[in-house]
A and B are shown apart, each in its own frame.
Chain A
């Protein structure tokens, strides 16, 4: 338990977005009987997204839990446009009935309402699910509160590959070793993570099954084996190997078979990243004399340079809609995040820190999680893809780094 508690992440919102949607989370009926209040988990999720303005419910008592109990005039007077009400009920079989409704106080009508039957242990999961539904209804984009993230925590004696909920809680390590672990990459279905471990005192790519905990070596060729990236079909991976001389990009099937070399340069080619449609790969190469970002088709043809500004542009990551990509740029000795639009080729600077690295998009494209160094210590941070919302994420570990945001999964 101590290991788990020490590994929890704490998320602090640094900046808020414009045009926040006002919303009131009315405490749910009977929620005090549970270890955590359902309405508070939902409120924290919505608040963390930076897209909502949370409003207090005020003096009304008792709190309404059904539409018939709602005094719309009271809420209109308070300026509460949207309300969330709900209640819990314990069933005879030990499970819980959870129901909630999203109400529009101006129209005095229900926007949506759902009920669920859950095991008590699923309380946080159902809260994230409800937050996702509210988020999607009010913003038009899918919510990512039910997703998970992977990251590497460095403790005094070992490195841990951690998997936690998107809010940083409920973290558990899936691998711990005294040698470093880098570059975790989620399979598109969220059941497997490929990563690089130095446990045999050289870089080797492993594939780890999250369901049964089993793992196996994907690539252990002579020289370095690194930078695993999944194709969106979940059946292929691209990776970087130095077995034929300089580090080049290869592709293999997810069982390690059918290795095919994709790049043939006399330079370093690494950090492949598949486009969401699987037809293109962004990668980093220093073939032009310094590290820049290039794009090629998934079979290695039609290579095109994407970045020209500055002498160090690395770690390209496609946005989930495929219309832009995030990357790390060095300028005036600072390593910061930018996002470039494919259509206009215009870059937007997202951060202004000293040492930002490893950007990873949320599956709805709204946020980017990344690693940074503050006062000599590795932290995670997040920024919205328009640069307006910023979060700082801290942990009790010496360092946290190498974040990877997991996919949208489940019965959406």
Chain B
């Protein structure tokens, strides 16, 4: 409470004391009519009590309503903040055209893709230094995603190629493209229409592991299979 408010409160208290003073003086003068006075006061008191109870109930209801509203607003803000955060991470957000991915197909696809124990839970393929061929151990992953794409003609993926930080940035950018394109080629050889797969290279520019050792480099020599509209908004 600021100084001005305190001053106002003090002024209000002084006025109240003055009024109280007048009242007690009046009471002393009207001693004779005490009975009538007291009955009236009793009735007034009952009415006031009833009024107060009703007011209190209304106030309580209002308080609960306001609390619920505040909770709702807070939840809305939290959701908006989360959405803004997600939007900041993915600066270009295009709404998913309903014609591209039907709601039923999407929910069906999303369920299968989000099954942590399912064959589609693995979305990354790793490479040896300066190589772009899909190692044997990663063939089943590529095949599982190809099979899924064949069964879900409305679903699209983006294959993102990455490299470790060493060497030429430009060669790494081209190598990342070749890595992503080699997965696309493997999938199209398995019958997936090319239009269901787009590719992009981030070269060495967006390392997932921040370190400068073999462990980080091995993690960063990687292609990610990203489901558009499910893993990523665009």
| Complex CA–CA separation, A240 to B172 (angstroms) | 12
- Interface residues on chain A, size class: 35 or more
| Complex CA–CA separation, A268 to B174 (angstroms) | 7
| Complex CA–CA separation, A198 to B171 (angstroms) | 16
B202: CB under 8 A from chain A? yes
B162: CB under 8 A from chain A? no
B92 and A223 within 8 A (CB): no
B199 and A330 within 8 A (CB): no
Distance (whole angstroms) from the CB of B42 to the closest CB of chain A = 72
B167 and A335 within 8 A (CB): yes
| Nearest CB in chain B to that of A182: its residue | B169
B206 and A268 within 8 A (CB): no
| Complex CA–CA separation, A306 to B124 (angstroms) | 37
A203 and B201 within 8 A (CB): yes
List B contacts of A176 (CB < 8 A): none
A324: CB under 8 A from chain B? no
List A contacts of B169 (CB < 8 A): 182-183, 357-358, 402
List A contacts of B205 (CB < 8 A): 180, 182, 198
A335 and B171 within 8 A (CB): no
A223 and B199 within 8 A (CB): yes
B218: CB under 8 A from chain A? no
A242 and B166 within 8 A (CB): no
B92 and A315 within 8 A (CB): no
Within A60-119, the residues touching B (CB, 8 Å) are none
List B contacts of A284 (CB < 8 A): 168, 170-171
Fill in one digit per residue for B191-216: 1 if any A CB lies within 8 Å of its CB, else 0: 00000000111110110000110000
Distance (whole angstroms) from the CB of B162 to the closest CB of chain A = 12
List B contacts of A224 (CB < 8 A): 173-174, 177, 200-201
| Nearest CB in chain A to that of B176: its residue | A224
A268 and B175 within 8 A (CB): yes
Distance (whole angstroms) from the CB of A158 to the closest CB of chain B = 12
When A200-B92, A247-B177 are in contact, do A291 and B171 touch as well, CB less than 8 Å? yes
B167 and A240 within 8 A (CB): no
B27: CB under 8 A from chain A? no
A242 and B181 within 8 A (CB): yes
Choice from B168, B199, B202 contacting A198 with Cβ under 8 Å: B202
Distance (whole angstroms) from the CB of A230 to the closest CB of chain B = 15
B130: CB under 8 A from chain A? yes
B177 and A355 within 8 A (CB): no
Within A160-210, the residues touching B (CB, 8 Å) are 178-180, 182-183, 196, 198-203
Within A306-349, the residues touching B (CB, 8 Å) are 312, 314-315, 328, 330, 335
When A198-B205, A290-B130, A376-B212 are in contact, do A357 and B168 touch as well, CB less than 8 Å? yes
| Complex CA–CA separation, A203 to B200 (angstroms) | 8
Choice from B91, B170, B178, B200 contacting A240 with Cβ under 8 Å: B170
A132: CB under 8 A from chain B? no
B91 and A178 within 8 A (CB): yes
Distance (whole angstroms) from the CB of B54 to the closest CB of chain A = 57
- Interface residues on chain B, size class: 20 to 34
Distance (whole angstroms) from the CB of A188 to the closest CB of chain B = 20
B170 and A271 within 8 A (CB): yes
Choice from A198, A202, A312 contacting B167 with Cβ under 8 Å: A312
| Complex CA–CA separation, A379 to B178 (angstroms) | 29
| Complex CA–CA separation, A201 to B158 (angstroms) | 12
Distance (whole angstroms) from the CB of A360 to the closest CB of chain B = 13
A246: CB under 8 A from chain B? yes
A226: CB under 8 A from chain B? yes
List A contacts of B200 (CB < 8 A): 201-202, 224
Identify which of A247, A291, A355 gathers the most chain B CB atoms within 10 Å of its CB.
A247
A180 and B206 within 8 A (CB): yes
B171 and A242 within 8 A (CB): no
A373: CB under 8 A from chain B? yes
List B contacts of A7 (CB < 8 A): none
List A contacts of B166 (CB < 8 A): 335, 355
Choice from A223, A245, A315, A376 contacting B168 with Cβ under 8 Å: A315
List A contacts of B234 (CB < 8 A): 201
A270 and B212 within 8 A (CB): no
| Complex CA–CA separation, A199 to B202 (angstroms) | 11
List A contacts of B168 (CB < 8 A): 271, 284, 291, 314-315, 328, 357
Within B4-40, the residues touching A (CB, 8 Å) are none
| Complex CA–CA separation, A66 to B228 (angstroms) | 74
List B contacts of A315 (CB < 8 A): 168, 170-171
Q: 10 nearest interchain CB pairs?
A: A247-B174, A180-B205, A314-B168, A268-B174, A224-B177, A227-B170, A376-B212, A202-B200, A271-B170, A270-B174
A–B Cβ pairs within 8 angstroms, 26 of them: A180-B205, A180-B206, A199-B91, A201-B91, A201-B234, A223-B177, A223-B181, A223-B199, A223-B201, A224-B173, A224-B201, A240-B170, A240-B174, A268-B178, A270-B170, A271-B170, A271-B171, A284-B168, A284-B171, A315-B171, A335-B167, A355-B166, A357-B167, A357-B169, A376-B212, A402-B169
Q: A180-B206, A226-B173 are in contact. List 13 more A-B contacts (CB 8 A).
A: A178-B91, A182-B169, A182-B205, A183-B169, A223-B181, A224-B201, A242-B201, A268-B174, A268-B175, A270-B174, A284-B170, A335-B166, A402-B169
Which B residues form the contact surface with A (CB < 8 A)?
Answer: 91-92, 130, 165-171, 173-175, 177-178, 181, 199-203, 205-206, 211-212, 234
